[in-house]
Amino acid sequence: MRRAYHVARADFLQRVRSRRLIVVLAIVAFFGYLVNVGQIELAYQIGDGDSLKNIQGTNTAAFVGLKAGMTGSMVLLFAGFYLMKGTLNRDRVHDVDRLVASTAVPNRTYLLGKWVSNIGLGVVVLVTLALATVINHAVHGVGPTKPLALVGPVFVLALPLSALVGAVALLFETVDRLSGTLGNIGYFFLATFALAGLQSAEGRLPSELPFWVKSVDIMGHLAVYTLTADALLAVVPDASGILPSFGTLSGETQMFRYDGRPWPLWIYIQRAGLLLPAVITILVATIPFTRRPSDTGSEDSRWLSRLTTLLPAVGHSTDTNEDTSDRVPVDSMSLTNVEKRETWNFWRLVAAETRLTVRGQQWWWYIGAAAFVVAPVSILVGAGASTRSLELARRVLLPLAFVWPIFIWSELGVRVTKHRVADLVLSSNHPVKQLVAEWFAGVIVAAGVSSGLLTLFALSNQTGTLVGIASGVLFAPSLAVAMGMWSRSSWLFEMSYLLVWYIGPLNGATPMDFIGTTAGSVESGVPIVFTGLSVILLGAGLARRTIELRR
């Protein structure tokens, strides 16, 4: 255990001394403010004609505590994974893994230490949230500020989830294929689907909830439902069987008052029960875990990545003496004098960046990208562009075409730092334009993957959708460059882009539908707004590069 403690301690100290954590904690503290001023709300939503009516609690300490607990759960469920992930990679980057690999520390002990460090990070997040909640309740809340009522739900609801998310993050890191962008995307959907079990609780009173439904309550919705149901029904008797909604809610409101009540034992048992899958996950993680993974890429991707060499070369060497290993004496070598070093060509750099961008993906990514080009064209060639096929392309193919290149985009703005090429780029002739070329490469990939759809909609005179595609082609790389440059990592872009993509293009929420999958989005000019946002985001990325040049 002493070894596990020291693995956890070293990893935790490394984490808490990073600037990134300060930014994260500042955001979490801001959430503590939002739950107290009603920007993050917990409410029961009842249909009232065409609109929804929100029945929500007044901001007593007990109710704000529940909101803060749910906020902690949501932060850890969706952002915690991305914050916690990287604990193994950090050791690889700093070569600490070589040191560990040469010791007698068992894999289980090492992973246990890393898991504890992940939980430690979760605790730091929750302590920040709890403190911010208490302080803000003293200023903005209703009734007396009861610290235990405010802080208790944060830890009871969210801390066990921290252990589970920390374990899943560790498991994903131990599996080679899940350690990168694929895993980040996969987790996002996993977390979303994990909430689907709540649907089984709809229409039931708290006393009618079966044990298995309670046991799959990841965030604590059912605990909150059980605790507040009586207070709710006292105000709205016909609101039984409605689960609480959580987030930024709009619409007509009606208030109820919840001043707290004793928590049923099953809540504590259910939350503690989340530790069981967490421990199992850690044990499973020891199976794929290798102390020193090979640096070489998978063989199966090589032949396809070779296809990218077809892209125009920046300069092609004509030296054909490749088959000799004899050393040519330095004194006998005659070197070409470089007369002109100002023949800088932006498009040559774009070609080089594009080649760099599309290299190194798995074989299935290239197949998928090709499918997105071919499928819309085959619709045109085959049955023709009927209304039904166009709608299918818009609602299914279009959103998917704008999530597929995330593997490429997530490297934008990060690659130079990740591969320690920053000094090389910053000391080159045009360091700012290099970033523009990198962004352009992302735009080219986006346009390339959606080129089949562009053709389909162009030939079908779907001008609105074309505007949407253009918006997506600009927005995704711009967001990637901005997030990558400012966070120096991919996770912030992956998380934020997936969130926008999930809410907008996939679920058709008009204000977020930047690629115009819905008619309402195009009519209300959402793609135009996102195009403008793209310019701001690209500007933010370039501003960061300019700051780097003045460090």
Binder to another protein among 207, 250, 325, 387 (CB under 8 A)? 325
- 3-state DSSP assignment of residue 397: helix
Alpha helices of 50-146 — where are they, by DSSP H?
Answer: 61-74, 81-84, 87-93, 96-101, 107-140
Buried b (16+ CB within 10 A) or exposed e, 478-509: bbbbbbbbbbbbbbbbbbbbbebbbebbbebb
**Beta carbon of residue 147, minimum distance to another protein (angstroms, whole number):** 37
Angle ∠(363,366,367) on CA atoms, nearest 5: 85
387 sits in which H/E element: helix 387-392
Strands 41-48 and 245-247: antiparallel
Site string for another protein, 262-291 (x = CB under 8 A): ------------------------------
**Beta carbon of residue 179, minimum distance to another protein (angstroms, whole number):** 15
- Residues in the chain, total: 551
**Token pair for residue 327?**
């050393």
Q: Which is nearer to another protein, 245 or 308 (CB)?
A: 308
User: What is the side-by-side order of every strand in the sheet holding 41-48?
Assistant: 245-247, 41-48, 51-57, 252-256
Q: Which is nearer to another protein, 238 or 339 (CB)?
A: 339
Which residues in the 373-432 window bind another protein by CB under 8 A?
415, 419-430
239 binds another protein (CB under 8 A): no
Binder to another protein among 144, 203, 293, 297 (CB under 8 A)? 297
**Beta carbon of residue 177, minimum distance to another protein (angstroms, whole number):** 17
310 binds another protein (CB under 8 A): no
Q: Which is nearer to another protein, 341 or 388 (CB)?
A: 341
1 binds another protein (CB under 8 A): no
Cα dihedral 467, 473, 475, 476 in deg (nearest 10):
150
**Beta carbon of residue 292, minimum distance to another protein (angstroms, whole number):** 15
Binder to another protein among 207, 248, 250, 337 (CB under 8 A)? 337
Binder to another protein among 307, 314, 383, 392 (CB under 8 A)? 314
With beta carbons less than 8 A apart as the criterion, state whether 209 and 201 touch. yes
**Beta carbon of residue 367, minimum distance to another protein (angstroms, whole number):** 18
With beta carbons less than 8 A apart as the criterion, state whether 158 and 76 touch. yes
Q: Which is nearer to another protein, 12 or 365 (CB)?
A: 365
Q: Which is nearer to another protein, 394 or 415 (CB)?
A: 415
**Beta carbon of residue 95, minimum distance to another protein (angstroms, whole number):** 12
Terminal CA-to-CA distance of the chain, rounded, Å?
43
95 binds another protein (CB under 8 A): no
2 binds another protein (CB under 8 A): no
Which residues in the 158-217 window bind another protein by CB under 8 A?
none
As a whole number of angstroms, the distance between CA 173 and CA 145 comes to 41
**Beta carbon of residue 480, minimum distance to another protein (angstroms, whole number):** 17
As a whole number of angstroms, the distance between CA 11 and CA 13 comes to 6
DSSP string for residues in 221-273? HHHHHHHHHHHHHHH-GGGTTPPPEEES--SEEEEE-----PPPHHHHHHHHH
Binder to another protein among 262, 315, 382, 384 (CB under 8 A)? 315
Which residues in the 424-443 window bind another protein by CB under 8 A?
424-430, 434
Binder to another protein among 1, 104, 196, 338 (CB under 8 A)? 338
The letter for the amino acid at 316 is H
Q: Which is nearer to another protein, 320 or 387 (CB)?
A: 320
With beta carbons less than 8 A apart as the criterion, state whether 517 and 399 touch. yes
- From the list 185-193, 346-354, 479-487, 520-528, the region that binds another protein by CB under 8 A is 346-354
With beta carbons less than 8 A apart as the criterion, state whether 227 and 256 touch. no
Q: Which is nearer to another protein, 294 or 387 (CB)?
A: 294
As a whole number of angstroms, the distance between CA 315 and CA 332 comes to 25
With beta carbons less than 8 A apart as the criterion, state whether 297 and 360 touch. yes
18 binds another protein (CB under 8 A): no
As a whole number of angstroms, the distance between CA 129 and CA 28 comes to 6
Q: Which is nearer to another protein, 422 or 447 (CB)?
A: 422
**Beta carbon of residue 89, minimum distance to another protein (angstroms, whole number):** 15
Q: Which is nearer to another protein, 197 or 360 (CB)?
A: 360
**Token pair for residue 78?**
């969706």
451 sits in which H/E element: helix 451-459
19 binds another protein (CB under 8 A): no
- Identify the CA nearest to 154 among candidates 174, 137, 178, 175: 137
Tokens 């020291």 sit on residue: 6
Q: Which is nearer to another protein, 56 or 434 (CB)?
A: 434
Give the interface size with another protein as a residue count (CB under 8 A): 57
104 binds another protein (CB under 8 A): no
Binder to another protein among 215, 240, 305, 487 (CB under 8 A)? 305
**Beta carbon of residue 386, minimum distance to another protein (angstroms, whole number):** 42
Beta bridge partners of 246: 42
**Beta carbon of residue 298, minimum distance to another protein (angstroms, whole number):** 12
Largest CA distance in the chain: 95
Q: Which is nearer to another protein, 209 or 426 (CB)?
A: 426
Binder to another protein among 207, 248, 250, 296 (CB under 8 A)? 296
Q: Which is nearer to another protein, 202 or 322 (CB)?
A: 322
With beta carbons less than 8 A apart as the criterion, state whether 532 and 473 touch. no
**Beta carbon of residue 102, minimum distance to another protein (angstroms, whole number):** 18
**Token pair for residue 448?**
């390339």
What is the binding site for another protein (CB under 8 A)? 295-297, 305, 309, 313-319, 321-325, 327-328, 330-331, 333, 335-345, 348-349, 352, 355-356, 359-360, 415, 419-430, 434, 549-551
